[in-house]
Amino acid sequence: MRYMRLIGVFLLLTVVSFAVSAQGCRDFDKKCPPPPKDYKVSTLSKSFSLEKRKTVNIKLTLYGDRIYFFSVAGKSKLGKIHYRLLENLETSRVLYDNASAGYESSKMFEISSAINVVLEISAPNYHLENARECAALLVGYKPLK
């Protein structure tokens, strides 16, 4: 009976500590480079944690006749953030890779018709094992004139 109680306490502490660490990245997208003033910040913006050799995939629907602004940021321990815009996970056709532009943290895309994409985000220079650090994606948009 005592072992069951100890196991229950251990599981509860594990769940609570995981929830607290995930909450620690909340609103980290506010650290991303902001879009120009005439852009609206989208609800597609996300804060998350990154770890060594892990990739975060964020599925997005981008609507036509808009210019989108993407920016990423991460805690300094992560190093430069690598992101790729993929047509979808099945074909993995790369539409943009920030590695080809020196890991720039922001980019604008003109979208003429609606498209489903995946933004793949990683920290290739992060070397700490079993550690997570906060990162974020900020998405802004404005109508195409």
Residue 58 lies in a domain: yes
Q: Supply the pLDDT for residue 11.
A: 46
Q: Going residue by residue through the chain (145 aa), what tens digit of pLDDT does each one get? A: 665 554 554 544 444 444 444 468 999 999 999 999 999 999 999 999 998 888 999 999 999 999 999 999 999 989 999 999 999 777 779 999 999 999 999 999 999 999 999 999 999 888 888 789 999 999 999 999 8
Check residue 18 and give its pLDDT.
41
Residues 117 and 46: their CA atoms lie apart, in Å, by 15
Cα angle 61, 71, 105; round to 5: 135
Token reading at 65: 């006749």
Within-domain flag for 17: no
Domain count, the chain: 1
- The answer to whether 50 and 56 have CB atoms below 8 angstroms apart is yes
The structure tokens listed for 118 are: 């995946």
- Domain of 83 in residue numbering reads as 28-143
* 22 falls within a domain: no
**pLDDT for 16:** 40
Separation of alpha carbons 45 and 66, rounded Å? 16
**Residue 12 domain flag:** no
CATH number, domain of 40, equals 2.60.120.380
Which residues pair with residue 49 across a beta bridge? Answer: 134
Coil, helix or strand at residue 38: coil
Q: How many residues does the chain have?
A: 145
Q: Please, which residues bridge with residue 69 across strands?
A: 108, 140
Confirm whether 7 is domain-assigned.
Answer: no
Q: What are phi and psi for residue 57, nearest 5 degrees?
A: -110, 120
What pLDDT, on a 0 to 100 scale, did the predictor assign at position 117?
A: 95
- pTM for this predicted structure: 0.78
